[in-house]
């Protein structure tokens, strides 16, 4: 089980603006430790272990943060509408577009996803795979 995911950041104010723009809308709360950002989900009743935390930190080695080639963190939203809203909010908060929300031919018919880069270049996916919504091949 994944306990947490960490990405590096060079400017915590920009990182906080970007990540708070969509993570708070997904139910995370922000905690700050020594200038770093910790986004955590509340423990649900009957849940045996928490969902993975998401940390934004300055690199411990003192060097500049950089994005990993081929690395991406994906966050699930409850609906296609949420994906669109959170993608827009993250762009407005300083992110850059890596792929507008929509369906992709290479994924399942209900997998609706938008891609972003944070201010430091880390790739982020926001997706919904809600079978109760119209899929790629269904009439809208």
Question: Rounded to whole angstroms, how far apart are CA atoms 29 and 37?
Answer: 10
DSSP state of 24: G
Predicted structure pTM score: 0.90
51 CB-near residues (< 8 Å, 6+ apart): 41
Write the pLDDT tens digit of every residue in 66-121. Answer: 998 889 999 999 999 999 999 999 999 999 999 999 999 999 999 999 999 999 99
DSSP string, 71-110: -EEEEE-SSHHHHHHHHHHHHHTT-EEEEEEEE-TTS-TT
CB-CB contact of 51 with 60 (8 Å): no
The DSSP symbol for 131 reads T
Structural domains of the chain, ranges and CATH numbers in brackets: 4-128 (3.10.180.10)
Q: Are strands 72-76 and 123-128 parallel, antiparallel or unpaired?
A: parallel
Tens of pLDDT, residues 42-67: 887 887 777 899 999 999 899 999 99
């Amino acid at each position: 089980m994944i306990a947490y995911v960490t990405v590096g950041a060079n400017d915590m104010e920009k990182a906080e603006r970007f990540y708070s723009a969509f993570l708070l809308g997904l139910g995370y709360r922000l905690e700050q430790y020594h200038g770093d950002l910790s986004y955590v989900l509340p423990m649900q009743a009957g849940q045996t272990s928490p969902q993975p935390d998401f940390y934004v930190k300055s690199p411990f080695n003192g060097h500049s943060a950089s994005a990993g080639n081929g690395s991406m963190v994906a966050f699930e939203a409850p609906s296609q509408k949420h994906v669109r809203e959170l993608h827009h909010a993250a762009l407005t908060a300083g992110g850059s577009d890596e792929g507008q929300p929509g369906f992709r031919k290479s994924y399942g018919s209900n997998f609706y996803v938008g891609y972003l880069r944070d201010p430091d270049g880390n790739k982020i996916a926001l997706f919904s795979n809600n079978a109760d919504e119209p899929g790629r091949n269904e009439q809208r």
